[in-house]
Amino acid sequence: MSLTIAQKIIARAAGTDAVAAGDYVTVTPDYTVMQDIYFWKNIKILERLGVPEIAHPDKVVAVLDHTPQAALGSEHVARNRESREFVRRTGFSNFFDAGRAGLRHLVMVEHGFARPGLLVFSDEPNIASIGAVGALNVPISTEVLVSMVRDSNWVRVPASVRFELTGTLPRGVWIRDLVQAICREYAGGDGLVQRCVEFGGPGLARLGLDSRQGLLAGMYHAGADTAVADVDEVALDYVRERAGSRPYEVFTADEDAAYDEVRTWDLGALEPFVTVPPRHSGVVPVSEVGGRRITQATVGSCASNRIEDLRAAAEVLRDHDIAPGVTMYVTPGSPGVYAQAAREGLVELFTERGATVLSPGCTTCWGYLGALGDGDVAVSTNQENYPGRAGSRTAEIYLASPYVVAASAVTGRITDPRELLPAEGAVHVLG
């Protein structure tokens, strides 16, 4: 039986040689990961059930990525204190508190939890970003409690589609523009529903690992259950530095593996896009909404919070100040990204240009920081654009790449970044 990457990973976790799309199988995950809100809720459920501890704490990862800051009036201040007490009492070691935390997507890869061939249960589909190093995310939402307690759960084996990437991203175009191109075609239908998107091709090899993570993190919004990428030396070099003695296995799809669709995407044919609220399918070229006045610009979220994303925004801001009347926030994805940005002078650059650099976390994406007020118009690298996502229901959220966000912050209106970018090459393309 010929298998896709996802089928091979699930078969290994199920202890069998092969699985077929549509099969229901019981698997043992390599890790279960969740953010602080779910972690606290699950602790309370365990207490009500009389379960004093987690069966396999070494296989559970919890990250304070939504509420690490002590916001005034927030109920999460007390909840996070209770989570810390649980961690202290039980000896739970994989808890990433404020100061160590970022988004769990990045924690998983930076700390070597995500490795080729591993299966991870999570509370969120966007954690498909770990597929950039060959790990498979299976989102099970609140059922993460089950795998915490039982160290197993059932999954429905997804069908797969194969996206082959060719070409190189042009000047002023970012990997987010490919995400939006895919959303434009698939987000309004069921073409990717209950499917894993498998990426490969020569174009993938030209993308840095940061860009690959951003690409995979966006597939949920196109309708996919999860995503995974071919593992090459770029990914393996990253994994080797972080895996230590922990095992992993690289899986490749069989040549005659069955896909529901195989499609080629030419990176060189892309242009800057903007997603118009309130749907992910509302993707248009930046020229169609150019000139729309904005009040806020944000770079961050699991879509665009890695060092390559910050470098892209800095390319635009290097010679331009942020326009009066525009508030700009930049959120690094992890302490490691923050520190690297500081070493490269990006934090200083953003500050000098008028942006506010926030501590690592989800922050502006769900409105815990940088909330939108009535009538605000934001252009953002964040993941969602529905009414009320980050504050007022009368605010508007336009989604775009770090290039578009930074260019719009400079002019005070949605702007094609190619109008402001210098002529040198883009930082996200490998030499």
Answer yes or no: do 257 and 323 share one domain.
no
Do 157 and 213 have their domain in common? yes
pLDDT, position 424: 64
Q: What is the structure's pLDDT at 80?
A: 93
Q: How confident is the model at residue 143 (pLDDT cuts 50, 70, 90)?
A: confident
Assigned domain for 404 exists:
yes
Query: Do 311 and 224 reside in the same domain of the chain?
Result: no
Does 240 share its domain with 317? no
What does pTM read for this prediction? Answer: 0.95
Taking only the tens place, the pLDDT of each residue in 241-300 is 999 999 999 999 999 999 999 999 999 999 999 999 999 999 999 999 999 999 999 999
- State residue 1's pLDDT score: 79
Over residues 53-64, the pLDDT tens digits come to: 787 889 999 999
Reported as a single tens digit per residue, the pLDDT across 290-324 is 999 999 999 999 999 999 999 999 999 999 999 99
Point out the domain boundary residue: 246, 266, 286: 266
Instruction: In whole angstroms, give the CA distance from residue 314 to residue 349.
Output: 7
Q: Which domain holds residue 249?
A: 5-266
| Number of structural domains found in the chain | 2
Task: Please report which confidence band the pLDDT of residue 69 belongs to, taking 50, 70 and 90 as the band edges.
Answer: confident
318, part of any domain: yes
Does 431 fall in a domain?
Answer: no
Average pLDDT over residues 4-33: 98
The model's pLDDT over 164-218, given as tens digits with 9 standing for 90+, comes to 999 999 999 999 999 999 999 999 899 999 999 999 999 999 999 999 999 999 9
Domain boundary, last residue among 266, 299, 324: 266
Residues 283 and 222 in one domain: no
Q: Are residues 316 and 230 in the same domain?
A: no
Judgement on whether residues 9 and 55 belong to the same structural domain of the protein: yes
Same domain, 327 and 413: yes
306 with 243, same domain: the answer is no
SS (H, E, C) the chain: CCCCHHHHHHHHHHCCCCCCCCCEEEECCCEEEEEHHHHHHHHHHHHHHCCCCCCCHHHEEEECCCCCCCCCCCCHHHHHHHHHHHHHHHCCCCEECCCCCCCHHHHHHHCCCCCCCCEEEECCHHHHHHHHHCCEEEECHHHHHHHHHHCCEEEECCEEEEEEEECCCCCCCCHHHHHHHHHHHHCCCCCCCCEEEEEECHHHHCECHHHHHHHHHCHHHHCCCEEEECCCHHHHHHHHHHHCCCCCCCCCCCCCCCCCEEEEEEHHHCCCEEECCCCCCCEEEHHHHCCCECCEEEECCCCCCCHHHHHHHHHHHCCCCCCCCCEEEECCCCHHHHHHHHHCCHHHHHHHHCCEECCCCCHHHCCCCCCECCCCEEEECCCCCCCCCCECCCCEEEECCHHHHHHHHHHCECCCHHHCCCCCCCCCECC
pLDDT band at 383 (very low <50, low <70, confident <90, very high): very high
